[in-house]
């Protein structure tokens, strides 16, 4: 039977549309396009890196949120339509260059030595190139067969870092996840399931003999509070452990709190200590805390997201003494190992706890015909299923430069922070809030006229000056509020930051604050910048 003419025309049209779609897809996947774009990107990245050494290059390319959103939308609205798609590689590369340059020109320049803000590093540049392999080839993992090399890389790094921490080889295990917050959640979930498995299975219907609580450093990261909420423990069941004058956990106060919980029939899910805490970078006395946790058989969880890599440094590893005694440890490579975000390690001292957090089965993923591979199916250990292979950057950097680089990064940034602390003591009217243990320094500029003002006005001036500094692009720093009083806070997360940059910062703060002397605004302003 001969098809009707209209059906023939319809079929031809459909074939043409299919072929056009296929052609557009092939153009996007063209290896020659990738080659040309890679060369273009290499040129742009090199030029960008060189520009960051110039004294006038802004740290933060500040624009208002509305303006940035408008410009981002304009680029999307100018994207090719079905009718205007250009298959010429030269034209595509010109457009690629414009888009890539826009991203570099609009972004935050953490590689600028005047970036001394959040606990996010100027990552080792070549680490980013190793990470690009993950992105371009879309390496993922959950079961071994989906990411065999990614799994091997992750497990090798877990073994190497765990050994540096001091865990006993063959007895510990770990996993890599996307960020310290998720690592804290997973570690505390394992602790909760160890103490109160009924919460995980029965939820709110669980009949508990004793109310679950977390004993937490008063300066612990806010992700711990979020975890208590998610885990069904409740944010009001967080009991804050008193700190000493250096904002470290007081062991005696911790023991009193443990005994109080026992007398009140409360189940302690975990003690949460810090190495180091975010506000001023204080390292808790882990050995003494571990002694208490072992004595009373309580799970010890240490958030060492920032300070964990200190164990690589011969000069500073004493700060993490006792870390290996914790039941679970959070350890971010994307902080003091200077790896692109996100790559957060979670370690369990006892290998048996590797499946304590998650015990669900997924028949379509895990192959019963190869049970010997199950221990390599890392999706069994983490909340993530399709997990990005986020260890390539660290593995490549370690293999290329050796582990001494990580010790060097700790030593140099810690020493630079110490240099800054010494400058504060030399400069009139500046005061350090604490004696720094790491690369975090909190300080104030308080000339007599400012100190005489009400606290509310002092705080407002600190907030306003910080905002002027970051919006100008001159520096990027953050703020802190300790005991109700605002202060400036820096974290030396660029190992190329020098004393000259730090002196320039102090001079800039002094100049900007003094301009407020005769023009003090009447109303306070709040800066919602969170510490990370």
Concatenate the DSSP letters of all residues of 245-297 into one string.
TTS-B-HHHHHHHHHHHHHTTEEEEEEEEEBS-TTT-PBP-HHHHHHHHHHTT
Q: Give yes or no: residues 273 and 387 share one domain.
A: yes
Asked whether residue 95 is domain-assigned, the answer is yes
Q: Which two tokens stand for residue 54?
A: 């110039």
pTM for this model (two decimals): 0.91
pLDDT reading at 225 higher than 60: yes
Report which of 157, 173, 117, 162 is spatially closest to residue 320, judged by C-alpha positions.
162
Looking at the structure, tell me whether residues 326 and 475 fall in a common domain: no
For the chain, the domain total comes to 3
Do 242 and 145 lie in one domain? The reply is: yes
Q: Are residues 38 and 71 in the same domain?
A: yes
Shared domain check, 409 and 334: no
Is a pLDDT exceeding 50 seen at residue 126? yes
Q: What is the pLDDT of residues 150-185, one digit of tens each?
A: 999 999 999 999 999 999 999 999 999 999 999 999
Query: Are residues 381 and 410 located together in one domain of the fold?
Result: no
Strand bridging mode 387-388 / 211-217 = unpaired
d(CA 215, CA 308) in angstroms, rounded, equals 21
Question: Could you tell me the CATH number of the domain that includes residue 142?
Answer: 3.40.640.10
Q: Are residues 267 and 152 in the same domain?
A: yes
CB hemisphere CA count around 54 (13 angstroms): 9
DSSP string, 56-88: TS-SB----HHHHHHHHHHHHHTS--TTT----
Q: Are residues 276 and 392 in the same domain?
A: yes
* Contact present, 466 and 488 (Cβ < 8 Å): yes
Provide the greatest CA pair distance for the chain: 99
* Cα within 13 Å of Cα(217), Cβ side: 32
Residue 363 predicted with pLDDT over 50: no
Residue 149 placed within a domain: yes
- Please check whether residues 194 and 56 belong to one and the same domain: no
Same domain, 391 and 409: no
Residue 496's pLDDT is: 96
Structure tokens belonging to residue 448 = 């007599």
Q: Which domain does 62 fall in, by range?
A: 18-109
Rg of the chain over Cα atoms, rounded to whole angstroms, equals 27
Both 381 and 438 in a single domain? no
What is the CATH number for 463?
A: 3.90.1150.170
Residues 433-459 pLDDT 10s: 999 999 999 999 999 999 999 999 999
């Amino acid at each position: 039977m001969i098809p009707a003419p209209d059906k023939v025309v319809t079929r031809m049209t459909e074939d043409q549309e299919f072929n056009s779609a296929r052609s557009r897809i092939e153009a996007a996947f063209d290896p020659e396009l990738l080659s040309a774009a890679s060369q273009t990107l290499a040129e742009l990245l090199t030029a960008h890196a060189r520009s960051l050494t110039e004294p006038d290059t802004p740290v933060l390319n500040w624009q208002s949120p509305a303006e940035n959103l408008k410009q981002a939308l304009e680029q999307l609205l100018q994207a090719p339509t079905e009718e205007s798609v250009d298959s010429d590689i030269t034209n595509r590369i010109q457009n690629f260059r414009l888009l890539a340059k826009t991203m570099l020109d609009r972004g935050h320049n953490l590689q600028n030595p005047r970036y001394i803000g959040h606990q996010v590093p100027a990552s080792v540049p070549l680490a980013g190139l190793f990470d690009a392999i993950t992105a371009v080839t879309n390496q993922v993992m959950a079961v071994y067969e989906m990411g065999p090399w990614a799994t091997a890389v992750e497990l090798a790094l877990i073994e190497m870092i765990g050994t540096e921490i001091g865990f006993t080889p063959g007895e510990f295990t770990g996993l890599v996840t996307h960020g310290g917050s998720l690592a804290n959640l997973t570690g505390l979930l394992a602790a909760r399931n160890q103490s109160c498995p009924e919460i995980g299975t029965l939820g709110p219907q669980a009949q508990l003999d004793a109310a679950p609580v977390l004993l937490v450093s008063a300066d612990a990261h806010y992700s711990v509070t979020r975890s208590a909420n998610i885990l069904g423990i409740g944010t009001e069941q967080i009991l804050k452990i008193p700190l000493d004058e250096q904002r470290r956990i007081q062991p005696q106060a911790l023991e009193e709190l443990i005994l109080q919980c026992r007398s009140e029939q409360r189940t302690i899910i975990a003690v949460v200590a810090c190495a180091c805490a975010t506000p001023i970078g204080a390292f808790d006395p882990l050995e003494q805390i571990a002694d208490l946790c072992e004595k009373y058989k309580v799970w010890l969880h240490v958030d060492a997201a920032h300070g964990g890599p200190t164990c690589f440094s011969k000069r500073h590893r004493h700060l993490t003494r006792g870390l290996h005694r914790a039941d679970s440890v959070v350890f971010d490579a994307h902080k003091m190992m200077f790896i692109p975000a996100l790559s957060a390690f979670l370690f369990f001292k006892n290998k048996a706890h590797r499946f304590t957090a998650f015990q669900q089965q997924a028949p379509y993923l895990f192959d019963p015909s190869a049970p010997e591979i199950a221990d390599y199916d890392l999706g069994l250990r983490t909340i993530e299923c399709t997990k990005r292979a986020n260890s390539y950057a660290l593995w490549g950097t370690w293999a290329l430069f050796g582990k001494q680089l990580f010790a060097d990064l700790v030593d140099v940034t810690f020493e630079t922070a110490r240099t800054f602390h010494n400058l504060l003591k030399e400069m009139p009217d500046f005061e350090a809030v604490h004696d720094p243990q790491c690369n975090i320094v909190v300080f104030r500029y308080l000339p007599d006229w400012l100190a005489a003002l009400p606290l509310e006005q002092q705080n407002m001036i600190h907030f306003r000056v910080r905002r002027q500094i970051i919006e100008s692009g001159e520096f990027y720093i953050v703020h802190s509020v300790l005991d109700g009083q605002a202060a400036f806070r820096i974290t030396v997360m660029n190992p190329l930051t020098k004393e000259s940059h730090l002196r320039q910062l102090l001079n800039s703060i002094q100049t900007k604050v003094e301009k407020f002397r005769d023009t003090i605004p009447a109303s306070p302003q709040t800066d919602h910048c969170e510490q990370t």
